[in-house]
Amino acid sequence: MFDPARILQSLPEGMPPPPPRFTFPFHYRPHPLALAAVEDLQLHLADPNRSWEHPFGVQADQTGGGGKMFGVLIVRRPDGTLAYLAAYSGKLADSNHLPGFVPPVFDLLIEDGFYKLGESEINEVTQDIDRLRACPDFRDARLAYEQAVSHAESSLRDERQRLKNAKHARRERRASVAGHPEAERSALERELSAESIRLSYGLKDLKRALEHQVKIKKEKLEEYTTRLEALVARRAEMSADLQQRIFARYSFLNARCEERDLNAIFAPTVFGVPPAGAGECAAPKLLQYAYLHALEPVTMAEFWWGQSPDSEIRKHGHFYPACRGKCEPILGHMLNGLDVDPNPMLENPAIGKSLEILYEDDMLLVVNKPAEFLSVPGKHIEDSVYSRIRKLYPEATGPLIVHRLDMSTSGLMLVTKTKEAHKLLQRQFFRRSVRKRYVARLRGEVAGDSGTIDLPLRGDLTDRPRQIVCGEYGKPARSTWQVIERSPGRTLVHLWPVTGRTHQLRVHAAHPAGLNCPIEGDDLYGQSGDRLHLHAEAIAFVHPATKEPLSFEVRERFPDVS
C-alpha cells in the first residue's frame, strides 16, 4: 500500500518480470509492473483520509481543484530489488512537496530562495507602476494633453471651414462685378487678395499657437510616461533575468551522469527557449530523482486523475504519453544511456498491407485505405497512399491526393490522375458538396440518439499533433452524428463531418462538450487498442468530367473488444 512516509514505494508480491527495455515515453502501453504501481497510487488518491486535500472533480458537473497528471516509475535498487516512485505535474494543493511524492527538480517556492526574492523585487516594481498609473497628476496630465489635442483639432477644423466659406464669398463677389469697369474690378481683386493673404497667415498663426499649447501639455505628460516606460522596461528586464536564472537551475541528469539545464536543452529546438512549465511534468521529476539516488529506471506510466480541463481531452484514470512540446527535448536528454524501446512511429505500419482500388477511370480512383496507413509521406516514413499510387501511375499529373484520412483511420479516399480532375474535385470539397459518412465505435454509452457538435479546434502548440478546443483561436468545426447500435459500454455511431479539421471526429467524440465517449482505440484522446475504430465507409460526389453523381460504400467490421 502507498506509504506517504517514504518516497520509494514497495511493489506487491508476485509481480511479473520487468521489461527488457525502458518505456518509450511518447507511445506506449503500460507494463504490468507500472499498472500495479498505478493501482496502488490511485487507491491513495481516492482515499478521503489522505494527509493532504485536493478536491478532484471527476464528473463534468463537479467543481473543485480539477484534474492532474500523475506518473509512476518502476526502479531497480542497487541490490536488484524493484520499487516505484510517484510524481505529479506542477503543484498540487499549492505545494511542491507532498508526502510520498518525489520533489521537484527545482523548487521555486522556497521562502528564502532567489525566486521568491526576485519575485518580491518584481512585485515592488509592479506596485510602483500601478501607483504611477493611478497618480492623479498623471491622469490630469493625460487628460490635459488629450483636451489640448482635441481643442487644436476642432479649432483648426473650424478655422479651415471659415477660410473655405470666405473663399466661396470672394468667388461670388468676383462674379458680381464681372461686367463692371476694369478699375472697379482691379480694386476689388486687390482687396480680395489682401483678405486671402491675411486669412492664410491667420491660419498659420493659429496653428503655431495651438501646436505650442499641445507641446506644453505633451512635455508635461511625457514626464510621467517616460518614468512609466522606464519602470515597465526595468520590470521586463528583471523578469527575463529571473527567468534565465530559473532555467539555469532546472538542471537534468541522464543515465550517463551528464547534466544539462533547460537553456541548453531547448536552444537547438524550434522554440529556442523553454516553454512555460518545462521541467515541471511528472516524467522529468521521476527520472531526476532516480538518477540522483542511484536507482535504475525500469518502466513508467502517466495517467490523468480528476476532472477534465475545458480545452484538452483528459479522461479520469486514462493513461497518456509524455507531452512533446515540453517533455520531448528534456526526455531526449534524460534517456541517453538507457536501453529504451524503439520509437514505434519510426516503423512503417503499412508493411504487408494492400491498397484496394474500388473504382478507376482515366481521371480518378476511389481507394479503400487500411487502418495504420499514411495518406501522404510522413517525416520518417515514405510508404503511403500517395507513394503507392505514384508508383502505379507514374504518368499521372497533379497532386494526386484530393483529401486525407488520419493514418489510424481506414476507409474511402479519392485520388486523381490529372491536374484538372484534382482541381475540380477540390472545388467540390471547398463547396462542401462532397458527402462523407464515417462509422465509429465509441467507448461508452452516448446520451441521446442524434445531434450536431460545434466545437472550434486548433493545434496544441506544446503537444503536436494533438488538437484542443479553443473558442478564442480555434477554427470552426462541425459534425453531425446518429446512433446506429448500442451495446453495454459501447455505442456504434454514424458521423458526418461538415468541416474537415484535423482529428475533428476524434475530438468531437471524446470531448465532454461533444459525445463524451472517445473512439475505441484512440491513443490520443482515449485509450489505445488494437486499432482506431473509425472508418470512412461512404463517399458521394459528382464526376468532374461526366457530371454523373457517384457514390461508394465499404462497410468495416471492427475487431471485437471486451
Enumerate the active-site residues.
406
| Phi/psi-derived region of residue 294, left when phi > 0, alpha when psi is between -120 and 50, beta in every other case | left
| Cell representation of residue 151 | 481643442
DSSP-derived 3-state class of residue 246: helix
Helix (H) or strand (E) holding 194: helix 182-249
Cell digits of residue 287: 527520472
Measured distance CA(525)–CA(314) in Å, rounded: 7
Residue identified by cell 473558442 is: 471
Residue corresponding to grid cell 511534468: 281
DSSP 305: E
Residue 95: strand, helix, or coil: strand
Contact yes or no for 360/369 (Cβ under 8 A): no
Which residue bears the cell 504611477? 132
Neighbours of 468 (CB within 10 A): 23
Peptide bond connecting 181 to the previous residue in cis, omega within 30 degrees of 0:
no
Element (H, E) at 264: helix 262-266
- Phi/psi zone of residue 290: left (φ > 0), alpha (ψ -120 to 50 degrees), beta? alpha
- Residue 541 near residue 425, CB atoms below 8 Å: yes
Q: Coil, helix or strand for 182?
A: helix
State how far the Cα of 174 lies from the Cα of 1, in Å rounded to an integer.
107
Question: Concatenated DSSP letters for 433-476?
Answer: -SEEEEEEEEES--SSSEEEEE--EEE-TTSTT-EEE-TTTPBP
Please tell me the distance from the alpha carbon of residue 143 to that of residue 94, in angstroms, as a whole number.
43
Q: What strands, in cross-sheet order, belong to the sheet with 82-88?
A: 9-10, 82-88, 68-76, 296-305
Cβ atoms of 275 and 262 within 8 Å: the answer is: no
Burial 131-142 (b: 16+ CB within 10 A, else e): ebeeeeebeebb
Grid cell, residue 223, equals 514626464
CA distance 327 to 252: 12
